[in-house]
């Protein structure tokens, strides 16, 4: 390998730039697939919502909101008249979903109480997508 002007003559400078750009793209791809969102971490939380939350499209709106926020999880009616589920994703998005479940819900719902349990950091997503369970 010859060195001219402090650069390796065997590789044109454009190839070195291309290699550097590919390295940056690979790092970005790895970070985006690992769930890192701007340096954030992944969280998981279970929920149960009390009030008038069945027969008012609460599950459908919850699924739509989860997809809109880009979190993963599931939602389900219980025999006790509540709605249960789980949310996973970047911690900031999980917190946004938690606030939505506590205060907003579907237009016809009445949320009396929201309980959140099993809140934890997770190394990777355990659920794919957001759906309704029966």
pLDDT tens per residue across all 134 residues of the chain: 555 566 555 555 565 656 665 666 656 555 554 444 434 799 999 999 999 999 999 999 999 999 999 999 999 999 999 999 999 999 999 999 999 999 999 999 999 999 999 999 999 999 999 999 99
DSSP conformational letter for 5: T
Per the DSSP assignment, residues forming a β-bridge with 75 are: 85, 132
Determine which one of 4, 16, 52, 77 is catalytic.
Answer: 77
Per the DSSP assignment, residues forming a β-bridge with 121 are: 43
Active-site residue flag, 59:
yes
Determine which one of 16, 33, 52, 59 is catalytic.
Answer: 59
DSSP H or E stretch at residue 119 = strand 110-122
DSSP sequence for 37-94? STT--EEEEEEEEEEE-SSSSHHHHHHHHHHHHT-EEEEEE-TTS-EEEEEEEEHHHH
For residue 31, the tally of other CB atoms under 10 A from its CB is 13
Active-site residue flag, 118:
no
The pTM of the whole model exceeds 0.75: no
Residues 66, 71: Cα–Cα separation, whole Å: 5
């Amino acid at each position: 390998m010859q060195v001219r002007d402090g650069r390796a003559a065997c590789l044109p400078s454009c190839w070195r730039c291309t290699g550097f750009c590919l390295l940056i793209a690979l790092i970005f791809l790895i970070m985006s697939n690992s769930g890192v969102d701007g340096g954030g971490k992944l969280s998981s939380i279970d929920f149960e919502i009390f009030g008038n939350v069945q027969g008012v499209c609460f599950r459908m709106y919850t699924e739509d909101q989860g997809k809109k926020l880009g979190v993963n999880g599931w939602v389900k009616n219980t025999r006790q008249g509540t709605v249960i589920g789980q949310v996973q994703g970047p911690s900031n998005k999980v917190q946004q979903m938690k606030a939505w479940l506590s205060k907003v819900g579907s237009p016809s719902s009445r949320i009396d109480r929201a309980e959140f349990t099993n809140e934890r950091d997770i190394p990777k997503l355990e659920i794919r997508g957001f759906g309704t369970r029966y």
